Amino acid sequence: MGVTALNMACSHCPHELNGKSAQGGVPFPTPREPAIFSKAMDCESDVPHDKLTIAQARRGTPAHRPVRVYADGIFDLFHSGHARALMQAKNLFPNTHLIVGVCNDDLTHKYKGFTVMTEDERYEALRHCRYVDEVVRDAPWTLTPEFLRRHKIDFVAHDDIPYTSAGSEDVYKHIKEAGMFVATQRTEGISTSDLITRIVRDYDVYVRRNLQRGYTARELNVGFIKENKYRLQNQVDKMKETVRTVEEKSKHFVYRVEEKSQDLIHKWEEKSREFIGNFLELFGPDGAWACSPLNYSSVDITHNI
């Protein structure tokens, strides 16, 4: 990349620049640290936190007073749909501090079902999302006024579809009524349930895959009969692949033989035509042999006799 192009790329980088490259003194971006874990603020803190309207937040706020937006969820098998929702939340206002609440395992298993990732794994996944500034562990299922005050939350971001859970037709209803709700859009075609459905649907494929990669039948919760069935299927697949490879090589060999054969036939035909032409030039009616003096003398001798 040229110096000009690199300067342009760095000018759009959201991170601070505090380094110099080896050539030309061109600065390079500093890697961003993971998001911090939240430490609830004291409601009686001296730090001013005046209530904002959405209009004020959209006009922009001073650097020392970012708009504190809260988004919560389970975030199991963290995927692009989660990331896009958080990107929208982060970009709601010109100066946004995005706080993400993640519910723990006990609460999630009680109200939604079992997760693939543990709570600690889900916390860490969120900390390493570029849009997240702060992560709240053990987030509540329903947001209380006290929780909102303690974390000095200005607005709550979530998709606008009513979220029915824990005996409520919409757990964000009171947030919407308070004018603190800002809607984001869901990403169609991707969700944690979709990913789990794919795995369940192709269960045999993934079990065989992991057996090949060294996982034990015990680790995969697979019985003796199924384990041997899968291993036999893997061996059959390897044999099929070997046969396909041999067939491809055989086809290539036959093609090369045919190509060489055609080449030899073509050369033989050329040599044959050349030989016949030379023969006719020498022994044909008008050939060199017919017109030679030796040939005439032989005819005269025979005639005289």
Cβ neighbour number for residue 229 with a 10 Å cutoff:
15
Maximal CA-CA distance, the chain: 148
pLDDT at position 186 is 94
Measure the CA–CA gap between 27 and 7, rounded to whole angstroms.
8
Q: What is the pLDDT of residue 40?
A: 66
Q: What is the pLDDT of residues 242-263, one digit of tens each?
A: 888 887 877 777 777 767 767 7
pLDDT at 172: 95
SS3 177: helix
* pLDDT over threshold 50, residue 2: no
Q: Kindly state the average pLDDT of the residues 118-128.
A: 97
pLDDT at 92 over 80: yes
Rounded-to-integer distance, Cα 156 and Cα 178, Å: 11
202 has a pLDDT exceeding 70:
yes
What is residue 153's predicted lDDT score, i.e. its pLDDT? 97
More confident residue, 87 or 276: 87
Confidence at residue 27, expressed as pLDDT on a 0 to 100 scale: 55
Query: Would you state the pLDDT for residue 104?
Result: 98
Indicate whether 21 pLDDT > 60: no
pLDDT score recorded for residue 149: 95
Average pLDDT on 124-152 reads 96
Question: What is the band of 94 on the pLDDT scale with cuts at 50, 70, 90?
Answer: very high
Q: Is the pLDDT of residue 141 over 70?
A: yes
Confidence (pTM): 0.67
Q: Where are the domains of the chain?
A: 1-32, 33-199
Q: Which of 149-158, 166-175, 250-259 has the lowest mean pLDDT?
A: 250-259
Average pLDDT over all residues of the chain: 82
Query: Which pair of structure tokens corresponds to residue 236?
Result: 């059959």
pLDDT at residue 160, rounded to an integer: 92
The residue whose two tokens read 């019985």 is: 223
Position 155 pLDDT exceeds 90: yes
- Work out the number of other CB atoms within 10 angstroms of the CB of residue 186: 14
39-73: pLDDT as tens digits: 866 544 455 678 899 999 999 999 999 999 999 99
pLDDT greater than 80 at residue 176: yes
Region label for 140, one of left (φ > 0), alpha (ψ between -120 and 50) or beta (otherwise): beta
Average pLDDT over residues 191-205: 94
CA distance 177 to 171: 12
Looking at residues 180-205, what average pLDDT do you find? Answer: 94
229: left (phi over 0), alpha (psi -120 to 50) or beta: alpha
Q: Which of 106, 104, 107 is nearest to 138 (CA)?
A: 104
Looking at domain 33-199, which CATH architecture does it have? 3-Layer(aba) Sandwich (3.40)
